[in-house]
């Protein structure tokens, strides 16, 4: 991932030093597991641990240089590690293992740590959404369907639904963590033919990973579930971002992204304050969503293993984790600095001449004895006339001889609070979120 959308903490999970450092720890733990079974002497295992190389930039480069010869990254890694430990003890490194034992276990370990970062960011995101929803529980605005005025709602109700969805994303991240916090050290084709299952158990216990049955590779539905959790986060952030972009349009201007001192919205037009964060988030969501497609294609591998998934995962897993984490944090900051304009929301609500109360008027006419179709036609005709003539909808109804309901019935139909009186269940669900 390019530095622009990377974070130091997520980079530290997936960079080469982290990857090789985790490979080394898996190898050393496996050697110590062998020692516990008496396959390797305790002294040799201790020597391997003591003389194990320090994984730093120089070590990474030595492995890359060796890979230029071996054309195999794990083989190159093992060569360098064994050389640093020295003979005869170094020969026990990678004993009974196949490359994927090390790679898949280390990758699952990295993914688990990445999910933990995303869960922490998701916690902050959900808290911010809940806070914003409660602050604007009674901030009245127009609800729109198909981009057209529909009926009144509140900004808090809108944000509450975002929060409920973000909470479901958090649950998906937790589920993905459980799916990916696994390990396998069962050798070629996964039959434990050259390694005791107790070695796998030893390594898993040390790393907090659960041993699972596998072929030579861990089943890739686990990785696809991780990518789905990332994509779901991206989709929710995009949902919020798209809505905020619409609400920031000049003709609407019900909200506005924060604007720092010294910030410039355009290189050419000094007046511009663009929804740059929301637009950036909308774009990044497309990448995370696309990566999920590749992850699903990785599930089907030949026989007990092939490496068609490997090249793909080197890109999509770190990138999806980086972007999901970045998007959660950036959207949280966006919401923290969001400006909300309640008065403009009210002005926009009434800009359609009261048409947003057409349904309660319809129901009042039906309750007074009209057939639904007749009532619909009466309300629709007056509504269209109000639009076309820029005339108050209620006044037209009051002058229509077909509308025989008493003024009190129209008062009730046009009562804004009546439209919002039953939002309790939405906020009860919000209150239940921790």
pLDDT digits (tens, 9 = 90+) for 213-239: 999 999 999 999 999 999 999 999 999
CA-based end-to-end distance of the chain: 32
Looking at residue 259, its pLDDT comes to 81
Q: How many CB atoms lie within 10 A of CB 79?
A: 20
76, HSE (Cβ side, Cα atoms, 13 Å):
16
Q: Examine residue 376 and say whether the peptide bond preceding it is cis (omega within 30 degrees of 0).
A: no
H or E segment and range at residue 13: helix 8-14
Task: List the CATH code of the domain at 97-253+272-351+422-434.
Answer: 1.20.200.10
Between CA 243 and CA 92 the distance in angstroms is 58
Q: Please name the residue ranges forming H helices in 298-371.
A: 310-336, 342-350, 358-367
CB-neighbour burial class of residue 267 (10 A; exposed 0-12, middle 13-18, buried 19+):
exposed
Burial 90-129, CB ≥16 within 10 A → b, else e: bebbbebbbbbbbbbbbbbbbbbbbbebbbebbeebbebb
Question: Among residues 361, 360, 372, which one has the least CA distance to residue 404?
Answer: 361
Looking at residue 185, its pLDDT comes to 98
Between CA 337 and CA 238 the distance in angstroms is 18
Inter-residue contact 287 to 319 (CB < 8 Å) = yes
Phi-psi region of 146 (alpha: psi -120 to 50; beta: other; left: phi over 0): left
Catalytic residue among 146, 303, 390, 399: 146
Between CA 112 and CA 225 the distance in angstroms is 12
H or E segment and range at residue 408: helix 407-413
Inter-residue contact 237 to 162 (CB < 8 Å) = no
> 0.75 exceeded by the pTM?
yes
Looking at residue 270, its pLDDT comes to 85
Question: Among residues 164, 161, 34, 167, which one has the least CA distance to residue 94?
Answer: 34
Average pLDDT taken over every residue of the chain: 96
E-only strand ranges, 199-269? 210-211, 255-256
Q: Token pair of 69, please? A: 């010869």
Catalytic residue among 41, 193, 266, 395: 266
Q: How many CB atoms lie within 10 A of CB 168?
A: 12
Architecture of domain 355-413: Orthogonal Bundle (1.10)
Between CA 395 and CA 31 the distance in angstroms is 86
Q: Token pair of 373, please? A: 């179709």
Between CA 63 and CA 74 the distance in angstroms is 9
Q: Please name the residue ranges forming H helices in 86-220.
A: 99-135, 155-180, 197-207
Between CA 101 and CA 33 the distance in angstroms is 14
Looking at residue 367, its pLDDT comes to 95
Between CA 57 and CA 63 the distance in angstroms is 10
CATH class of 1-95: mainly alpha
The low-confidence residues of the chain, meaning pLDDT below 70, are: none
**Catalytic residue check, 266:** yes
Looking at residue 272, its pLDDT comes to 81
Domain extents for the chain? 1-95, 97-253+272-351+422-434, 355-413
Question: Among residues 15, 23, 33, 10, which one has the least CA distance to residue 104?
Answer: 23
CB-neighbour burial class of residue 356 (10 A; exposed 0-12, middle 13-18, buried 19+):
buried
User: Angle, to 10 degrees, between the axis of helix 99-135 and the axis of helix 310-336?
Assistant: 20
CB-neighbour burial class of residue 8 (10 A; exposed 0-12, middle 13-18, buried 19+):
exposed
- The set of long-range contacts for 374-377, using a CB threshold of 8 Å and a minimum separation of 24, is none
Between CA 50 and CA 164 the distance in angstroms is 50
């Amino acid at each position: 991932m390019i530095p622009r959308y990377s974070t130091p903490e997520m980079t530290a999970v997936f960079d080469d030093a982290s990857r090789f450092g985790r490979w080394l720890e898996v190898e050393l733990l496996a050697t110590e597991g062998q020692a516990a079974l008496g396959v390797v002497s305790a002294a040799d295992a201790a020597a391997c641990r003591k003389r194990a190389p320090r994984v730093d930039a120089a070590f990474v480069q030595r492995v890359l240089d060796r890979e230029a010869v071996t054309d195999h990254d794990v083989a190159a890694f093992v060569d360098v590690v064994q050389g640093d430990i020295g003979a005869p003890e170094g020969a026990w490194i990678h004993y009974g293992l196949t490359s994927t034992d090390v790679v898949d276990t280390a990758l699952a370990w990295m993914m688990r740590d990445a999910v933990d970062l995303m869960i922490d960011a998701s916690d902050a995101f959900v808290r911010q959404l809940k806070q914003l929803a409660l602050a604007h529980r009674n901030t009245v605005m127009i609800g729109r369907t198909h981009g057209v005025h529909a009926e009144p709602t509140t900004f808090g109700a809108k944000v509450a639904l975002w929060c409920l969805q973000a909470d479901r994303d958090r649950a998906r991240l937790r589920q993905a963590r459980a799916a990916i916090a696994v390990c396998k050290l069962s050798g070629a084709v996964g039959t434990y033919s050259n390694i005791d299952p107790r070695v796998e158990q030893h390594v898993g216990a040390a790393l907090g990973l659960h041993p699972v049955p596998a072929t030579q590779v861990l089943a890739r539905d686990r990785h696809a579930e991780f990518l789905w959790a990332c994509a779901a986060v991206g989709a929710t952030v995009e949902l919020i971002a798209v809505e905020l972009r619409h609400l920031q349009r000049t003709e609407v201007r019900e909200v506005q992204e924060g604007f720092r001192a010294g910030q410039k919205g355009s290189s050419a037009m000094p007046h511009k304050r663009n929804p740059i964060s929301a637009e950036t988030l909308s774009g990044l969501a497309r990448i995370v969503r696309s990566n999920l497609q590749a992850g699903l294609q990785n599930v089907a591998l030949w026989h007990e293993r092939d490496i068609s998934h490997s090249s793909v995962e080197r890109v999509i897993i770190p990138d999806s984790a980086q972007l999901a984490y970045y998007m959660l944090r950036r959207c949280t900051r966006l919401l923290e600095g969001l400006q909300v304009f309640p008065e403009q929301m009210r002005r926009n609500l009434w800009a359609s001449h009261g048409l947003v109360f057409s349904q309660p008027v319809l129901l009042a006419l039906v309750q007074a004895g009209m057939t639904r179709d007749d009532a619909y036609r009466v309300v629709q005709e007056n509504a269209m006339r109000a639009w076309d003539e820029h005339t108050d909808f209620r006044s037209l109804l009051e002058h229509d001889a077909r509308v025989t309901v008493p003024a009190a019935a129209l008062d009730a139909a046009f009562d804004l609070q009546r439209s919002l009186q039953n939002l309790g269940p939405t906020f009860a669900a919000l209150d239940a979120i921790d």
